[in-house]
Chains A and B, each alone.
Chain A
């Protein structure tokens, strides 16, 4: 399971960074989303991987998994969701104003 989770985080991160380097708004936004998925799985794994264990108090449980990382992931998901919405709106505004979806500065905007 460790191999599976680790390679998933690695693949998501690699794909996200590749897309961000495309420097056009749509791939960049998708790349940022992939990066945030990768980091969410990574945070989850930082509390150690466990199968079938409850995170909160239970009379029958033999052990517990770390509940804190689940709370952290939840916060991170909410924030990254909001941030993605913001960048979509800003990017849309920029596209409508400038008529191009290139993010690197190729004109007077970056001088």
Chain B
């Protein structure tokens, strides 16, 4: 067994309690150890990425209990890519949090941050549905702490809504899992895939209910309409770096949909057929429309970017709903792109907010300090998120449109293209209100610390976007092979060694 597979879970899980127990009074020590942990996570994820791209999917049997009796972690290429994305994003966001001093504004930022990483990496790696629930809870409980980091009236009130909404989501997840268990008698993903495929159509009414419940749970995580209400308030009120890290949390919902609905309920399943794709596609298109209109009408910087995030989830789910290798591959490319773009834009919004008296877009304020650089970064982020050339958002949308040719194409293409235009207009309006109209006040910008490290972090995310654009050919080819592997399903199922006698 390759023991590196569990390292992305164990490393933060060990580090976080150490930070709480031994370094709680020393911020410098916390920063050093937490940063070292995140850099180590980047290294481990690199090792896993190399290992997964050369080997077939590999299972890690916890306690050496054979599947489906024990819990397994499964490392396939999709999981490796997601863990690597998380590690890169986490490193940049953490540099930003240290550079701007966000981690100083409340207690235990770094410990919660590590627990959050543990939950996210675990959710990507696990091969067991109940274990997925547990890791969801780990990442959620850490996110509750991070969300209200720094305190304040608006943040705490949004925090209560966020916690309550997600607790309801967790309850629904448990209902879904129990329903699946009562029908299939297992919660191991690979075992479920085999049993569901073998189930005769007449017995699967309850299974379909369970599938829809699961889809709702993942839609809550992924902020799909009509479950997107928690996102704008939460992301706008959360501290900037936390909102940027949360960019990958919505992607956990998308990842879960890709994983579960390609592995267990693929369109060729006799019991369910194309049922889930038919549910997902309209919801995704409406999400896209609502996100774009939100960008156009947003009154504050935070909500502007939050609605941009909703629109990107809509685009992503539109591609996911295709359930073909080509569309899944496009979805994965857009997933990588939109995570980086959303995070970069949240960080830029935070840079503006720290230098501007008000988050209200329409309120006239003097220009912000270091305006040129911030405006340029905002411009790059907005181009990326709206999907304009030359950055990878354009390529991602192009791949998605290309993959979704066929019946219903007019509606999909129309929605994606019109919403892109709306987002361009919305971001242009916001940018000119923030950076051009400010010069009408004739006031000098208030001086502000240069925050070199923070700019380095945002620059790192932008560099990631540029790298994704430049290397789009090889990356999309690699993602295409991941999508093929997902559609084929057998390598993943075989890695669990279900038929082998107990060792």
Contact = CB atoms under 8 A, between A and B. Distances in A.
A111 B153 contact: no
Interface centre among A48, A97, A108 (most CB of B within 10 A): A97
B221 to A, nearest CB: 16
B348 interface: no
A83 B137 contact: yes
Contacts of B179: 46
Contacts of B181: 43, 46-47, 68-69, 72
B498 interface: no
B182 interface: yes
B463 interface: no
Interface in A9-38: 20, 25, 28, 32, 35-36, 38
A86 B167 CA distance: 11
The binding surface of chain B is classed by DSSP as: helix
Given A75-B134, A83-B170, A97-B151, A103 B178 contact: no
Nearest to A72: B130
Interface in B162-212: 163-164, 167-168, 170-171, 174-175, 177-179, 181-182
B63 interface: no
A111 B168 contact: no
Contacts of A80: 167, 170-171
B137 A79 contact: yes
Contacts, number: 103
B171 A75 contact: no
The residue in B130, B154, B300 that gathers the most chain A C-beta atoms within 10 A of its C-beta is B154
A49 B314 CA distance: 42
A93 B158 contact: no
Given A46-B182, A97-B152, A87 B171 contact: no
A109 B134 contact: no
B156 interface: yes
Grouping DSSP codes into helix (H, G, I), strand (E, B) and loop, the A interface class, with mixed when no group exceeds half, is helix
A5 interface: no
Nearest to B131: A75
A76 interface: yes
Contacts of A103: 157, 160-161, 164
Interface string B349-374: 00000000000000000000000000
Given A32-B167, A83-B141, A87-B163, A93 B174 contact: no
A87 B300 CA distance: 27
Interface range, A side? 35 or more
Interface in A35-54: 35-36, 38-39, 42-43, 45-48
A8 interface: no
B239 interface: no
A111 B299 contact: yes
B148 interface: yes
B154 A109 contact: yes
A56 interface: no
Contact of A42 (B159, B161, B175, B233): B175
Given A38-B171, A90-B148, A90-B163, 18 more contacts: A28-B164, A35-B171, A36-B171, A39-B174, A42-B174, A42-B175, A46-B179, A46-B181, A47-B181, A75-B130, A86-B144, A91-B160, A93-B156, A94-B157, A97-B157, A98-B153, A98-B156, A103-B164
Interface of B: 130, 134, 137, 141, 144-145, 148, 151-154, 156-161, 163-164, 167-168, 170-171, 174-175, 177-179, 181-182, 233, 237, 299-300
25 contacts: A20-B164, A20-B168, A25-B160, A36-B171, A42-B178, A43-B177, A47-B181, A47-B182, A48-B182, A72-B181, A80-B171, A83-B170, A86-B163, A87-B164, A87-B167, A90-B148, A90-B156, A90-B160, A93-B148, A93-B156, A97-B151, A97-B157, A98-B156, A105-B161, A109-B153
> Which 9 residue pairs across A and B have the least CB separation, nearest first?
A46-B182, A94-B156, A46-B178, A43-B178, A39-B174, A109-B154, A97-B153, A109-B157, A35-B171
